[in-house]
Amino acid sequence: MNVSDYDFDLPEELIAQTPLLDRTSSRLLVLHREDGRTEHRTFTDLAEFLKPGDTLVLNDTRVLPARLFGTKSDTGAKVELLLLRRIEGDRWETLVKPGKRVHAGARLSFGSTNEESGDAAKPLLTAVVEEEGDMGARVIRFEYEGIFNELLDRLGQMPLPPYIKERLSDRERYQTVYSRHEGSAAAPTAGLHFTEGYLDRLKAMGVNLCPITLHVGLGTFRPVSAETIEAHEMHAEWYSVSEQSAKLLNEAKAGGGRIVAVGTTSARTLETLGGRFGGGPVQACDGWTDIFIYPGYRFQLVDALITNFHLPKSTLVMLVSGLAGKDNVMNAYREAIDRGYRFFSFGDAMLILGTDAK
């Protein structure tokens, strides 16, 4: 299959630059995958399409303030560092700009503090480049005094995607209200539409909330460069599922309730579990997944999906096409563009439903 089949023209003005003041006030395009029928709603209408016994699967990862701006210790040249994942201890996989000027052995400095004399300054955080990879990828080791997460919170900025040009005034607006476990380089953005109050409303209806964790990593920032889908290699991301969440998933399947993935990261985690346990009962586990879902894939756990509108030719458009069908998704995207829906991280939402919709 050709990657170009998932291309479409998107007016730049439809790329949402800032989040809405009210998380739940976004628009909701409902796509019925059995016949391609669409409905144009608001996000609060989601409750009309859920029923008691349904299970919402929420990725509770929390985004690190993972973008650091510093200098090369020897020349003072400016550098930008994006933390992608912790390898072990103080060693991290990162992206460095400008990558061509930062080689193994280089020392980087971030922030500074005046010593007691007030005359000298030393960096709050330093990093040594240990390994070089492609496209600016570097393995670095941090050196510091104190607590790393406190320094990162002080020095780092939220790693907004490159298509968002506006500065984010409130960091928490790029976190879901249910985020718990730090480790992501980007937010699971479908979850940004929920408030605690709206989740409480769904729980009161009898909808189960099932947290899982998948830390969003390198692939979020890496475009599909291959000409065919089959030639693309997915990145690996770490996931974790607790005993309680495994129990909720098993009960949903046994009781005939639908499993509704909130976001493509939740969907990828669920389908990884489906493959890991062969369609049988899910168990508490963690591990790495590089699952790549596109048309022709047979879903094992996901019955419905809440997602945002994604980049042309992205693996995420391919995933939603795997669930709803390429023609249905491309037609729905054309409708969304014609009607002025907001796209990408701070944009509007889509609900993909199956034949047992209501």
The string of pLDDT tens digits covering residues 79-122 is 999 998 889 999 999 999 988 889 999 999 999 765 444 445 78
CA distance 71 to 323: 45
For residue 57, give the nearest of 210, 197, 188, 270 by alpha carbon: 210
| Other residues' Cβ atoms within 10 Å of the Cβ of residue 338 | 8
- Asked whether 273 and 241 are in contact (CB, 8 A), the reply is yes
User: What is the per-residue pLDDT for 222?
Assistant: 64
Which residues make beta-bridge pairs with 179? Answer: none
Using one digit for the tens of pLDDT, what is the confidence trace for 212-238?
999 998 676 566 888 999 898 888 899
For residue 50, give the nearest of 259, 227, 233 by alpha carbon: 259
DSSP-assigned letter for residue 234: P
Q: What are phi and psi of 169, to 5 degrees?
A: -80, -30
CA distance 312 to 336: 14
Token pair for 16: 């949402």
| Other residues' Cβ atoms within 10 Å of the Cβ of residue 245 | 23
Higher per-residue pLDDT: 304 or 162: 304
CA distance 337 to 352: 17
| Other residues' Cβ atoms within 10 Å of the Cβ of residue 75 | 10
Token pair for 21: 């003041």
Q: What distance lies between CA 73 and its chain's CA centroid?
A: 33
CA distance 111 to 68: 9
Q: What are phi and psi of 140, to 5 degrees?
A: -125, 160
CA distance 69 to 330: 39
**For the whole model, what pTM was predicted?**
0.89
Q: Span 184-211, mean pLDDT? A: 96
User: What is the per-residue pLDDT for 356?
Assistant: 52
